[in-house]
Amino acid sequence: METQKVKTCFTITFTPDQYQHAKLYVEDMSKHPQRVYWLGKEGKSKEELVIEQIAHRVLSGFYNNESLKAGKQIVRMDSMTY
């Protein structure tokens, strides 16, 4: 199977509730250092982990019960192949 690599940068918005939920999730994960969650996250600050969690949830649809809501949260997307 032939694949292509694409580098994509998203600009998203999020609510204070989404931030708080992600913060609590990261705090819970910090109690479990052996979980798969931590693979590739070495050296990241707590704030980076929280923002990464929000982005993951927005882009994967966890916060998007309605398709119009996703369109409002994803403000911009820039992509390039390499």
User: What domain count does the chain have?
Assistant: 1
**For position 61, what pLDDT does the model report?**
74
72 falls within a domain: yes
Handedness of CA 42, 48, 52, 53 (dihedral sign): positive
* pLDDT of res. 1: 80
**1, part of any domain:** no
Q: Per-residue pLDDT tens, the chain, 82 aa: give them.
A: 888 888 888 888 899 999 999 999 999 999 998 988 888 898 999 999 999 999 888 887 766 666 666 667 777 777 877 7
Which pLDDT belongs to residue 46? 95
A 10 A CB-CB count for 27 gives 12
Helix 16-29 to helix 46-60 angle, to the nearest 10 degrees?
Answer: 120
- The whole domain housing 66 covers 6-81
53 phi and psi angles, rounded to 5 deg? -65, -40
CB atoms within 10 A of CB 28: 11
DSSP state of 74: E
pLDDT of residue 68: 64
